[in-house]
Chain A
Amino acid sequence: MLQEKYKTEIDEILSRYPVRRSAMLPLLTMAQREEGYVSEAAMKEIASILRVTPPQVYETVTFYTMLNLKPIGTFHIQVCKSLMCALVGSDSLLVWLQARLGIKPGETTPDRLFTLSTVECLASCGTGPMMQVNDDYYERLTEEKVDRILADLKRDGTSPLKSGPFILPEPEGAHG
C-alpha cells in the first residue's frame, strides 16, 4: 500500500495543490514507479486518498500513454510513431524491433524483459527515428544500432548508446 510506505511524500504532494484531485498525476507516477504499472489496487487507493471514485482515476490513467495499465517488462521500449520519425523510417524500425523481440506493440516478451509500445512525439524530431527505453533516449536509430542496444540491455541492463535528450544547439560531437 502506497500510504503505508510513502506517507510523508504523499502528504507533501497533497500540500502542493489547493484542489485535492489535482494531485492525481503525481500519485499515479508514484504508483507506477512502485510497481512498474498502475494496478487496480493502486487506482482504488489513490481514489480514496483523493476522495474521488475509482472510475475517475481509471479514466485519467487511460488518457496518458505514459501510464501503464498492465505489468511491463524490465525494459519498456517506446518507439516514436509521430510524423517526423515516420518520415525517416520509424515504421521499418518498428517492424525490425517486432521481428527481433517476437512481440507486437502493447505486448511483453515471455521472459518479461521487454515491452514494446508506440508513442506520440517525444520531442526529438531532429534525431529520428528514435525510441525511449525506460528513462533513456536512443536516437538516430538504425537496425544495427537497435540490435546492439537490445544485446547491451540484456547483458548489462543498460547501453552506452543512450543519449540526450539534447538541448539545442547540440553538444559537440553528438553526431555519431
Chain B
Amino acid sequence: MVKLTIDGVPITAPKGTLVIEAARQAGIMIPHFCYHPKLKWDANCRMCLVEIERVPKLQTSCSTPVAEGMVVRTATTAVTQAHKSVLEFILANHPLDCPVCDQGGRCDLQDFSHEYTPTTSRFIEVKRIFPKEYFSALIETQMNRCVQCLRCVRYCDEVMDVKALAPAGRGTMTEIKHFTHHELDCEFCGGCVQICPVGAITSRLSMYEYRPWMLKRADTICTYCGDGCQITIQTKENKLIEVNTAHGAGRNNGDLCARGFFGYHASTHPDRLQHPLVRRNGELVQATWEEALGFVAETCIRLKMEHGAEAFAGLIASRCTNEDLYVFQKFMRLAIGTNRIDSSARYGQINGVRALRRVQGTHRWAVTFEDIVAADALLLVGTNITETNPITGLKVKEAVKKRTATLLTVDALVPAVGTISNIANLAAHHFPVHPDRFGHVVLGLIKAVVEDGLVDQALAHRAPAYVQAIGDAVQALSWPALESATGTTSGALREAARIFARAARGVVLVGQGVLRSPGGYGLTTNLLDLLLLTGQHGRPGCGLAPLAEENNDQGAVEMGTVAEYLPGPCDLNDPTARERIAGLWKEELPKGPGRTLTETLEEARTGKVKAMFVVGENPVGSLPHAARAKDALAQLELLVCQELFLTETAALAHVVLPACSYAEKDGSFTNTEGLVQPVRRAIEPIGESRPDWEILSALSVLMGYPIEYGDAKEILKEIRSLIPGYGLLGAGPNPPRPDEAVVSRYLREGYAEDLANRYAATQPTEKRTGHFTLLVTQSLFHSGKFSTRSTGLLEIQNTGVLGLNPADAARLGVTDGDRVRVSNTLGELTAPIKLLERIPEGLAVFPEHFDEEARRLLGVSTDPQTRVPYCKSAQVVIEKL
C-alpha cells in the first residue's frame, strides 16, 4: 500500500493505482474525458491535469501512478487555469447545439463547462465542420460534437475485441468512422454510445425522444440470454425509451450486447396480446378474464373427472421469473395433480445440470465469472461464446487479453478476423472440427492426459480404479483414428492437454454446440472427467461451466419445472424431499411420473394427455416439423396458452391468456452462474395482461385449490424456505463446492455405468461428397422468443441468410446475395447466401430465428439418458438457383 495526500486528504491506495482513481475513491472528482476505468489510460484529452509537489509541470492524473509521500493538489489556480484552457480548445470547435443533443443533461462537457469556463471564447475562427454521414440504422454519429477522446475506439478494441471503429484523419480533423464510407457493420453492443462522454455517438432508437431528467428508471435483468446482465430500463409516460447500464453495475459491469442494448422494444410491440382470447366456433375471439378463466377452470374440472389428473401436462418457458415457474409447478402438482411438467431447460440446459449433479452433486457452477477472468487456462467446447452468451464471452476476452490466460477452443468455426467477435481468434490452440466430432477432441485430450503422465497424483491415489478404467478406455482408442476424425495432430492435442493440466486454475466452458447436440450429456460428463483427471476439479476457481441459453434456464431447473425434479432441485422420487415439500405445502404430492417435452407431445398424439398448459413455450415454432408438435397439440381437448404474442402454438390454443413481459412485473431470475437477481417492473402491464403466476393463482382459486399470494415477494419467501441459494437477491455469487460424497461415489462406481458409450470414438459418418452439414444456430442479434419483435434488432438482422465458406460458394458458382436451394429428403428451402471466412468448408450455417423454412429439413433425435431433443443440424445438398 502507498500513502499519499490529495488536496490535504491522506489516502492509502494499492501500488499501481492511478492518481485519478485514488482521488475518486477519496471522493475527489478530477474532470476527465479520455480516461475510463475499463480502459488503458491514453492521456490524450489533458483534462485531468493536477499539480504534484516537486514535479515542475502539471501531470495527467489518469496516467500517473501513486507514489509514496506524493502530495497532489487538484484545485489550485494553475490546475483550474489548465482545465479552462483545455475546455477553451474543445469549445473552439464544439457546436452550441445542446438544445438538440440527446446527451444534454448528462454530458461531461456540459458539466465541466458550467464549472470552469467563462461564457465567452477568445476564438473567432470558424468552427470545424464535418460533412454529416450516415453511420448506421441504430447508432448516430455527430462528429462536430466529438472531443476526440477515443474512448469509443479503445472500448471497441480493448473490451469488445471487435475493432470496428477507426479514428480517421489526424489532429482536430479526426473523426470516428467505420471503414471508409461504409455503414457500420459490427456487434452493435452499444458500448460506444454508452462510453461517449458527449453527444457524438448516440442511439437512434431513442433520438430526440427525451431529456434525461424526464426518465423514470428501473434496474432489472435482461432476458435475452443466461448471462443475467443488469440493465436500467428508462421510461417516459409508460413508454420504453432506452436501456443502459452503469459501469460497475451487475455481473456485466456496465457492458451489454446488441440484444440487451437495442432489443428492448419487444415488450411494447403492437402485436402484444391485450385481452384473453377464447376459441368459439373455431375462431379465437376476445373475451373477458372472467369468461376465459371460468371456461378453463370448468373444462379442467370436467376433464379431470373424466380422465384423471394424468391426462394433464404442462410446459413452461425459461423466460419466466422464478416466481412464475414456482407457482406453475405448484399449480400443476396441487391444483391439477400431475408431475407431467417440463420447460425449455429441456432443450439443453438439463444436460449440463444432470452431468454436474451426477459427478459433483451440485446443480450450479462451482465457478463464477470472476473465476473465468482469473483462470490460467480456459477450454471452450462447442461455443462461439459471443453469439450465445456475449457477456460471459467478455469475461473470456478479459482473461485472455488482460490476464494472459491461455485459451483452448474446440468449435466448428475457424479463426477469421472480422468486426464480429470470433473467440477462436484469441485461442492459443484452436481445434476446428466438424460439430459431431467435438467429443473426439475431448477424448484425445483425455488420452494425452493419461499417456503423458498428467493425471493428478492425488486422484490416482484416491481412485485408482477410476483412473485405470478411464486409462483403459482411452488406450483402446488409436491416435491415427482420433487424428483422422479431428483433422489435428496428436502433438497439438498433447500440447493443449499439457497446458490445461499444468494450469494453476483451469475452467471449462461448454456451450450449445455440445449441450444441444447428440451425445451432449455424455460429452459434458467426459469434460468433468477431464477436470477430475487433471486435478482441475474441486479446487477453488476451477470447474465446469455449462452455458445457459435462456435467461432463467437455471431457475427453471431449480424451481422443479422439469420432468425429473421437484423444487430444489430434488429428484422426483426422493422420499425425504417429497415429505419436506408436502409438509410445507400441507398437501400430498402427486405420485405419477414426470414426462419430458417430447414424451408429452407423444402422449398428446396418442390421446393419453388430453389437456395442456403452455406458458410462454412454443414447441410448434421451436421444434422441427419432423417432431410433429402441431399434430400432437391439435389432438388436445384443452390447450391453454399464456403468451405475449399469438405464436404458432398459441394459434392452436382453445384459450390464450395475455401475460406480462419481464418489463411489467417483479420477480427474480437465476443466471447461468447460479446468481439470483431481482427483476423490477419498469412499465405498467400492456392491455389486460397479467403476470403468469397471477393467472395461475386465479385459476387455482376457481378450481377450488387456492394457491394465493399477495405479490411476487411472498412467493419468493416461500421459495426461500424450500430452495437453498435464494436468500439475498443480487448479492455476489457464492458458488457451491462440489459435494465430496457425490464425487467419491462417482469415482467409485458412478462413472462406470455408461463408460463404454462415452469413451467409444464412434466412427463419424463420412460425409458424402457434395453434401453439406446444415447447422441452425443462434446469431448474436437474436435470442429467446421475443427478439424478432424488437425493431432495433430487426434493423440489424431481419432475414435468414445462409452462411457459407467462400471456397464452397466458388465451387457452387454463387456469391454474396445469390440465392441457393438447400434440400434433403425431408424438405427444402431457398435462401440468400453470405460468404463468411469463419465458416469452414462443408458447413452451412443458418440463424435459428428465421428458420421457419429450415425447420423442415431437420430431424429429431432424443438423448437416451436426459431425453433432450437434438434438432439443430442436418445433412443437405446445396444448389445454385
B425: chain A residues within 8 A (beta carbon): 51
A47 to B166, CA, bound (A): 13
B14-22, B87-95, B172-180: which one contacts chain A?
Answer: B172-180
CB <8 Å contact, A55 and B417? no
B179: chain A residues within 8 A (beta carbon): 40, 43, 54-55, 58
B166: chain A residues within 8 A (beta carbon): 55-56, 58-59, 62
The one of A43, A53, A59, A62 that contacts B417, using a Cβ cutoff of 8 Å:
A53
A interface SS class: helix
CB <8 Å contact, B163 and A53? yes
CB <8 Å contact, B180 and A59? no
- With contacts A40-B180, A48-B417, A69-B180 taken as known, whether A55 is within 8 angstroms of B163 at the C-beta atoms is yes
A50 to B419, CA, bound (A): 14
A12 to B418, CA, bound (A): 25
A63: chain B residues within 8 A (beta carbon): 169-170
- With contacts A47-B417, A48-B417 taken as known, whether A55 is within 8 angstroms of B170 at the C-beta atoms is no
Residue A25 at the chain B interface, CB threshold 8 Å? no
Interface centre among B168, B178, B425 (most CB of A within 10 A): B168
Question: How many Å from the CB of B217 to the closest CB on chain A?
Answer: 34
Question: How many Å from the CB of A45 to the closest CB on chain B?
Answer: 12
- With contacts A58-B166, A58-B168, A59-B166 taken as known, whether A52 is within 8 angstroms of B417 at the C-beta atoms is yes
A58: chain B residues within 8 A (beta carbon): 166, 168, 177, 179-180
CB <8 Å contact, A52 and B163? yes
Q: How large is the interface on A (under 10, 10 to 19, 20 to 34, 35 or more residues)?
A: 10 to 19
A55 to B167, CA, bound (A): 9
B167: chain A residues within 8 A (beta carbon): 59
Residue B659 at the chain A interface, CB threshold 8 Å? no
Q: Which residue of A lies closest to B169 (CB)?
A: A62
Q: Which residue of B lies closest to A54 (CB)?
A: B179
CB <8 Å contact, A53 and B170? no
Interface hits, A9-36 → B, CB 8 Å: none
The one of B164, B170, B418, B419 that contacts A62, using a Cβ cutoff of 8 Å:
B170
A54 to B417, CA, bound (A): 9
Residue B548 at the chain A interface, CB threshold 8 Å? no
CB <8 Å contact, A55 and B165? yes
CB <8 Å contact, A51 and B169? no
A48: chain B residues within 8 A (beta carbon): 417, 837
B418: chain A residues within 8 A (beta carbon): 53
Q: How large is the interface on B (under 10, 10 to 19, 20 to 34, 35 or more residues)?
A: 10 to 19
Question: How many Å from the CB of A142 to the closest CB on chain B?
Answer: 31
The one of A51, A55, A59, A69 that contacts B419, using a Cβ cutoff of 8 Å:
A55
Interface hits, A96-137 → B, CB 8 Å: none
A52 to B156, CA, bound (A): 13
Question: How many Å from the CB of B809 to the closest CB on chain A?
Answer: 17
B164: chain A residues within 8 A (beta carbon): 53, 55
A55: chain B residues within 8 A (beta carbon): 163-166, 177-179, 419
A48 to B165, CA, bound (A): 17
CB <8 Å contact, A56 and B163? yes
Interface hits, B151-172 → A, CB 8 Å: 162-170
Q: Which residue of A lies closest to B184 (CB)?
A: A55
A48 to B177, CA, bound (A): 19
Q: Which residue of A lies closest to B418 (CB)?
A: A53
Q: Residue-by-residue, is B171-195 near A (CB-CB < 8 Å gives 1, otherwise 0)? A: 0000001111000000000000000
A74 to B164, CA, bound (A): 34
B165: chain A residues within 8 A (beta carbon): 55
Q: Residue-by-residue, is B468-482 near A (CB-CB < 8 Å gives 1, otherwise 0)? A: 000000000000000
Interface hits, B754-779 → A, CB 8 Å: none
Q: Residue-by-residue, is B34-56 near A (CB-CB < 8 Å gives 1, otherwise 0)? A: 00000000000000000000000
B163: chain A residues within 8 A (beta carbon): 52-53, 55-56
Question: How many Å from the CB of B169 to the closest CB on chain A?
Answer: 5
Q: Which residue of B lies closest to A62 (CB)?
A: B168
A51 to B417, CA, bound (A): 6
Question: How many Å from the CB of A46 to the closest CB on chain B?
Answer: 12
A169 to B164, CA, bound (A): 49
B169: chain A residues within 8 A (beta carbon): 62-63
A62 to B179, CA, bound (A): 11
A62: chain B residues within 8 A (beta carbon): 166, 168-170
Q: Which residue of B lies closest to A64 (CB)?
A: B170
Q: Which residue of B lies closest to A53 (CB)?
A: B163
A40: chain B residues within 8 A (beta carbon): 179-180
A43 to B182, CA, bound (A): 13
Question: How many Å from the CB of A101 to the closest CB on chain B?
Answer: 24
A59: chain B residues within 8 A (beta carbon): 166-168
A59 to B154, CA, bound (A): 13
Question: How many Å from the CB of B842 to the closest CB on chain A?
Answer: 21
A67 to B167, CA, bound (A): 16
A62 to B837, CA, bound (A): 27
CB <8 Å contact, A53 and B180? no
Q: Which residue of B lies closest to A48 (CB)?
A: B417
Q: Which residue of B lies closest to A50 (CB)?
A: B417
A129 to B178, CA, bound (A): 37
Question: How many Å from the CB of B17 to the closest CB on chain A?
Answer: 29
Q: Which residue of A lies closest to B178 (CB)?
A: A55
Question: How many Å from the CB of B838 to the closest CB on chain A?
Answer: 12
A54 to B179, CA, bound (A): 6
Interface centre among B168, B177, B179 (most CB of A within 10 A): B179
A89 to B419, CA, bound (A): 47
B417: chain A residues within 8 A (beta carbon): 47-48, 51-53
A130 to B56, CA, bound (A): 41
Question: How many Å from the CB of A55 to the closest CB on chain B?
Answer: 4
Question: How many Å from the CB of B427 to the closest CB on chain A?
Answer: 13
A52 to B425, CA, bound (A): 11
B178: chain A residues within 8 A (beta carbon): 55
Question: How many Å from the CB of A28 to the closest CB on chain B?
Answer: 14
Question: How many Å from the CB of A70 to the closest CB on chain B?
Answer: 10
A56: chain B residues within 8 A (beta carbon): 163, 166
Q: Which residue of B lies closest to A55 (CB)?
A: B166
Question: How many Å from the CB of A122 to the closest CB on chain B?
Answer: 17
Question: How many Å from the CB of A57 to the closest CB on chain B?
Answer: 8
A108 to B746, CA, bound (A): 77
Question: How many Å from the CB of B435 to the closest CB on chain A?
Answer: 25
A40 to B417, CA, bound (A): 17
Question: How many Å from the CB of B839 to the closest CB on chain A?
Answer: 15
Q: Which residue of B lies closest to A59 (CB)?
A: B166
Q: Which residue of A lies closest to B175 (CB)?
A: A62
Interface hits, B397-428 → A, CB 8 Å: 417-419, 425
A58 to B417, CA, bound (A): 15
A51 to B178, CA, bound (A): 17
A58 to B166, CA, bound (A): 7
Question: How many Å from the CB of B666 to the closest CB on chain A?
Answer: 43
A162 to B142, CA, bound (A): 45
A43 to B166, CA, bound (A): 13
Question: How many Å from the CB of B555 to the closest CB on chain A?
Answer: 38
A55 to B162, CA, bound (A): 10
A43 to B168, CA, bound (A): 14
Interface hits, A33-91 → B, CB 8 Å: 40, 43, 47-48, 51-56, 58-59, 62-63, 69
Question: How many Å from the CB of B133 to the closest CB on chain A?
Answer: 14
A100 to B162, CA, bound (A): 47
Question: How many Å from the CB of A15 to the closest CB on chain B?
Answer: 20
30 examples of A-B residue contacts, CB within 8 angstroms:
A40-B179, A40-B180, A47-B417, A51-B417, A51-B425, A52-B163, A53-B162, A53-B164, A53-B418, A54-B179, A54-B419, A55-B163, A55-B165, A55-B166, A55-B177, A55-B178, A55-B179, A56-B163, A56-B166, A58-B166, A58-B177, A58-B179, A58-B180, A59-B166, A62-B166, A62-B169, A62-B170, A63-B169, A63-B170, A69-B180
Q: Would you list the 3 A-B pairs with minimal beta carbon distance, nearest first?
A: A59-B166, A55-B166, A62-B168
- Further pairs besides A43-B180, A58-B166, A62-B170: 20, Cβ < 8 Å: A40-B179, A48-B837, A51-B417, A52-B163, A53-B162, A53-B163, A53-B164, A53-B417, A53-B418, A53-B419, A54-B179, A55-B163, A55-B165, A55-B178, A55-B179, A56-B166, A58-B179, A58-B180, A62-B166, A62-B168
